[in-house]
Amino acid sequence: MSLLLPALVGVLLTLVPRPLSRARWAQRRPREAAVVWVVYALVTAYLLLLALALAVGSLWPAGLFLLWMLVRLTQTVRGLRRSQRRHQEALALVADYDPLLRVHVLNDDRPLAYCLPNGARPMVVVTRGALELADSAEMRAILAHERCHARNRHDLLVTGFLAWQRIFPFVPSCRAAAEAVGAVTEAWADDQAAAEVSHAVTLRAIMRLGSGVPGGLDHLGWEPDPATLSRVRRLMGQMAEGRLSPGPALTGR
């Protein structure tokens, strides 16, 4: 038993994140995947603390490591909050609020849209370039995506796993876990946009913002980053599944 617990912790830390990040069910059900990632982190942390306590017959090592984890989490949160506060102050000077769209509009030709965490009142920001490039349906999909991030406080989930990566900087799979959680939140928001508008429009919006020109993937110069390409492939796969399985639950998507 004395060796079994450390071995289990080692497996959880080093071997579980990569296959979990690549699991097909996690791609299909990102909300459930987010819950699984949170449970994974809590269970791993608990078993690690327990293993430390049992290894030396004292709670002191476990207590010190728990303190270290809390310090790293606090540092991560405070660092991100400082950055977000500076960003908010800059937006207050250069961005205009659009009450119709309920977004802050930044005078920038680049087509961008993002959610800026702001406690209980996150801000959705779009650029003039995005408003000029996207049509009305695509803009609805873009805003549905960003508001899903805001409504479900995806920033807390991403921040927690960024701290997890910083707690175990020597474990490469912890970085994989942080990246996978970021991908899960993007898939979750894409699903929300597809549910509110459609898969086709959501896909088109991603491609249009990614390419910066009308036509998206048809534009020969478009070279998406791996994360964006993964989102495109995921939505295209969902659309293909919808055509092959025309059940009533898929109509209108």
The predicted pLDDT at position 246 comes to: 44
The predicted pLDDT at position 2 comes to: 67
Q: How confident is the model at residue 216 (pLDDT cuts 50, 70, 90)?
A: very low
Q: How confident is the model over 95-116, as a mean pLDDT?
A: 93
The predicted pLDDT at position 15 comes to: 93
Q: Three-class SS string for the chain? A: CCCHHHHHHHHHHHCCHHHHHHCHHHHHCHHHHHHHHHHHHHHHHHHHHHHHHHHHCCCHHHHHHHHHHHHHHHHHHHHHHHHHHHHHHHHHHHEEEECCCCEEEECCCCCCEEEECECECCEEEEEHHHHHHCCHHHHHHHHHHHHHHHHCCHHHHHHHHHHHHHHCCCCHHHHHHHHHHHHHHHHHHHHHHHHHCCHHHHHHHHHHHHHCCCCHHHCCCCCCCHHHHHHHHHHHHHHHHHHHCCCHHHCCC
Q: How confident is the model at residue 166 (pLDDT cuts 50, 70, 90)?
A: very high
Q: Is the pLDDT of residue 215 over 50?
A: no
Residues 25-81 have pLDDT tens digits of 998 999 999 999 999 999 999 999 999 999 888 888 899 999 999 999 999 999 999
Question: What's the predicted TM-score (pTM) here?
Answer: 0.86
Residue 216 vs residue 137, higher pLDDT: 137
Average pLDDT of the chain, as a whole number:
88
The predicted pLDDT at position 226 comes to: 84
Q: How confident is the model at residue 250 (pLDDT cuts 50, 70, 90)?
A: very low
Distance CA 163, CA 178 (A): 9
% of the chain at pLDDT higher than 90: 71
Task: Please give the residue range of the domain that contains residue 34.
Answer: 4-250
Q: How many domains does the chain have?
A: 1
The predicted pLDDT at position 221 comes to: 53
